[in-house]
Structure 1
Amino acid sequence: MKYDPAKHHRRSIRLSGYDYSQSGFYFVTLCVQHRACLFGHIQDGQMHLNSAGLMIDRWWRKIPDKFPHVTIDAQIVMPNHYHAIITIPVGADPSVCPNPELTPPTDPIHPIAGIIALGERTASGEHVGSPLLAVSLGRMVQWAKTMTTNEYIRGVKRGEWQPFHKRLWQRNYYEHIIRDEKALTNIRNYIADNPARWNRDQLHPQNPSKY
């Protein structure tokens, strides 16, 4: 099934009972308050970041520095939103749990290994995932929102960037748990194609959708 953001990328009400520190791949979107286009513009199907957009991109790329073993897969900064696939690997830090069965996959050709093992148990009956990694998806997103907001405010005070109303980012964020390799490929393609389909994007400021 082709990835359909209207169907698969619903307003984020966290999945009841789901542990978002669990290993896996997560598609995350943050939108600027009131869909204000603060980070650049689309021209000829290409995203052109302004200095604020470059700042947003830089802070999101720091997530793996702040939260070791977490990786950013496909990502893009759009004029008024940000898309990324965030990967929490199986087993997290081997210094925390030395069991070799829980060591994160190291072969970049097979990142889906982190999905296949989602929710499984080891031979000893231990859960793979959340008991070994205390950092939740929400904590990572909140950290990035805080760091980007603080730097954006400094840019506004210097007169470099356009002011925002009350908050830089919308209060909530959107997420989708990627459960198989086909979905991962579809979402990677969706992210890559996002600038080319900007005029039809549900987050375009002239789109009447309330998404």
Structure 2
Amino acid sequence: MVWRDNTAEIDLSEVGEVADQYLQRIPEIHPNVSLDAWIVMPNHIHATIVINDAPVGVVETSHWDVSTTGDHLISGSLGAIINHYKAACTRRIRDLGYGVFAWQPRFYDHIIRNQRSHDRIRQYIWQNPTRWSDDENYIETTQG
């Protein structure tokens, strides 16, 4: 972790750099999708993903815990987008020599229904690095 101007920033590993680069490519691969706010943390990612002009049935109700495995994914849905993202990252990360890399099979989603909620979630994402040391999986590292 790097501190700049009293603000924590995550100093990404090589795997984290891949995760960040591929996350930023989502709108190129899915032209009807945009990223609003995101942060790649050492053990998870937060992002608000906007699906514009979604076909009927693509944007579902909030499930919180959604699988990205199986044949049930609808093309253009958030699950399909995340599935594609995870697969592309995994291929690149394994090509870099991280053979044991794997994602959790699920992700958590939430439909943002109003501006107040959007602002609160955006702030949570941006402030996430300042809370990293409170994470149950936090491991202090030093850069050498």
TM superposition score normalised by structure 2: 0.74
Inter-partner Cα distance in structure 2 for 1:138 and 1:71: 15
Instruction: Spell out the pairing of 1:116-195 with structure 2 (5 A cutoff).
Output: 129-131=54-56, 135-156=76-97, 161=98, 163-164=99-100, 168-195=102-129
Structure 1 pair 131–176 and aligned structure 2 pair: CA distance change class (3 A): closer
Aligned residues: 119
Cα shift readout 1:105-147 (whole Å, capped 9, x = no counterpart): xxxxxxxxxxxxxxxxxxxxxxxx4339651000000000000
Quote the residue 1:56 is aligned against: 19
Inter-partner Cα distance in structure 2 for 1:184 and 1:168: 30
Which of 1 and 2 has higher RCO (CA within 8 Å, sep 6+)? 1
Deviation at 1:61, TM superposition (A): 1.0
Cα shift readout 1:129-176 (whole Å, capped 9, x = no counterpart): 4339651000000000000001111111xxxx5x53xx5110111111
Equivalent residue letter for 1:43:
V
Residues 132 and 138 in structure 2, CA contact (< 8 A), matched pair in contact too: no
Q: Does 1:205 align with 2:137?
A: yes
Instruction: Note the aligned Cα RMSD (angstroms).
Output: 2.1
Quote the residue 1:65 is aligned against: 28
The structure with the larger Rg is: 1
Quote the residue 1:47 is aligned against: 10
Cα shift readout 1:166-193 (whole Å, capped 9, x = no counterpart): x511011111111111010001000000
Inter-partner Cα distance in structure 2 for 1:195 and 1:131: 36
Equivalent residue letter for 2:92:
E
Give secondary structure in 2 for the equivalent of 1:71: strand
Unmatched runs of 5 consecutive residues or more in structure 2: 59-74, 140-144
Equivalent residue letter for 1:173:
F
The runs of at least 4 consecutive aligned structure 1 residues that moved more than 4 Å come to none
Inter-partner Cα distance in structure 1 for 2:2 and 2:23: 23
